[in-house]
Chains A and B, each alone.
Chain A
């Protein structure tokens, strides 16, 4: 088995070396825009617009108002509590709601939950993207995947305008797994009609802080 794998490896590499000609043009033109000319307020507005496009609900608040904002959202949604990753700042959590830390919960526990509350690492305005680097304030990948409801807190200092700017911040998070989320899960597989919510959380709600 191992010997055969080595043989195929060498065979494929030999095929490649035999196939490729001389070196191609080595210069890669990168003349696309890495940034845009928008004020910070316009960037925030664009991000919120994009999230609205995705049917995600967006709230704005200050750091101090995070617990009250969360409480208001939970009340509106008639939820009594949410799952949280182990590293989520405790000062964000409102009293009178049940927050359960993910310490080895089973998939069935995640599936049966009322939803999950996390932070994020990076957000990209132009595409309405939230990047989860699965650090302690966001938890393992399953935590933001199996529950049907995801409430995500985005600090404005995490928000950049363009994909290249976002990618530069994402590079610093490697080798952690990265998930980029641009709206709730969706499909257009049936007659190209966009259906919100297939397998990932069907509802995404965002609190912009700052």
Chain B
């Protein structure tokens, strides 16, 4: 077993990565602008739905129900999809999924593939595996194209290149597409991408996709998108290969009516995204005549095994928690060191890796609760963050100074008399740092605090002392 989540295992700790990113004023401006726009649009289209809370309840309940019967629904999907002409593969981890896909592409005799945005393939680093096998992957989502051409990393679940502005993209396109002139309006840049990809869409024989939903009862697969690149990849090639996490299955076609309302409004603030594609196996005379689907575990069953945090798998990858998160809004996605950024990334990435890496991610949150408030399937992200923090502490991965401070505080708090003594010590301890009632240069754990803020000196008399004299 070799579970990996992109390059998360070797990523910088969150505070270190974030320190560099918050210093980048252009990036912060780009991220701020993009998240503000989506938040505003989302707020508007969510407010017009009287039954939004009921949809959220249904969305959560369907997912929780599915997870409780995951094996049954996957088998039902497998049977229905196979009956409709699809071929179902199972992969325990990222490497196995990549191997299956590389073998399939080779078997069909292609040395290039067109890809529609799939986070799951970013998770498995499929492009690296394809390239190593001499297969050229073409990303076709505009944002993914920007990321791929820029040899960059995605920074958002839905809008992976929101950290780049138009001038940066223009320069990139001119260089990589060999253009002498190019306008800088978004229309010009989108048109350049259309021209660049058009010929590839019509030529390449193998398409690779992810999926938003698998429908157990019908064996259907659903891809939600905006640009039409998805339809191109799902429709024009001779062969279609989809890589999908096992948690993406839902029981019935009817269940889709819930998610087709929750997802677009949460993700992009649209009432409906321009295109949804729903296909069932192979349709003679229409679209790819060979369809393969790879069902991926890669740590998901480990997440499922923890009752306190398994609802992480309810996620429908809408990105609303990223846009709402005040931490993400400062750092952008790269600070999270994973293809999954923001609050959902902070809980998903460490869990997929069995808590062996990314231990600073559960702390990358002020627990303000904005993520939980917007989550269309009501994942209690703050609660799961706290749960994962407990795992970090219990496994001995918390810093020593913090553990000592916490133990000391717990000891002091365990009895009021000890607390009074601690007050006295603290008052005594602060005098070298006391500058006219303000502490402005503390050492150790509190150095980060006083780098940016003063701290009021501890008053001479605590409340309990005042009370006892009354």
Contacts and interface: CB of A to CB of B under 8 A. Distances in A.
- Check whether chain A touches chain B (CB < 8 angstroms): yes
Interface in B212-230: 218-220, 226-229
A168 B57 CA distance: 21
Contacts of A16: 70-71, 74, 246, 301, 304
B459 interface: no
Contacts of A189: 141-143, 146, 159, 161-162, 227
Given A8-B90, A111-B202, A198 B229 contact: yes
B142 A28 contact: no
Contacts of A17: 71
A151 B19 CA distance: 52
A90 interface: no
Interface stretch (A61-69, A73-81, A126-134): A126-134
Given A182-B274, A188-B268, A189-B142, A167 B254 contact: yes
Contacts of B57: 29, 31
A136 to B, nearest CB: 11
Contacts of B76: none
A39 B388 CA distance: 51
A19 to B, nearest CB: 4
Contacts of B347: none
B84 to A, nearest CB: 6
Given A16-B70, A28-B62, A140-B285, A187 B304 contact: no
A174 B159 contact: no
A97 interface: no
Interface residues on A, range: 35 or more
Interface in A155-201: 163-164, 166-168, 170-171, 174-193, 195, 197-201
Interface string A18-39: 1111111111111111000000
Interface string A103-141: 000011001000000000000101111000010000011
Nearest to A53: B271
Given A12-B90, A141-B235, A141-B286, A31 B166 contact: no
B218 to A, nearest CB: 6
Contacts of B194: 197-199
A32 B258 contact: yes
A195 B231 contact: no
A25 B274 contact: no
A-side binding surface: helix, strand, loop or mixed?
loop
B276 A180 contact: yes
Contacts of B70: 16, 20
Contacts of B439: none
A86 to B, nearest CB: 11
B96 interface: yes
Contact of A175 (B187, B218, B256): B218
15 contacts: A8-B91, A13-B75, A20-B71, A23-B69, A25-B65, A31-B51, A33-B50, A171-B254, A181-B274, A185-B227, A186-B226, A188-B226, A192-B159, A198-B194, A199-B140
Given A32-B261, A141-B277, 8 more contacts: A20-B304, A141-B286, A163-B272, A179-B277, A191-B30, A198-B142, A199-B198, A199-B231
Interface of B: 30, 33-34, 37-38, 50-51, 54-55, 57-58, 61-62, 64-65, 67-71, 74-75, 84, 89-92, 96, 100, 103, 140-143, 146, 159, 161-162, 164-166, 169, 186-187, 189-190, 193-194, 197-198, 201-202, 218-220, 226-229, 231-232, 234-236, 246, 253-254, 256-258, 260-261, 268, 270-281, 283, 285-287, 295, 297, 301-302, 304-305, 307, 310
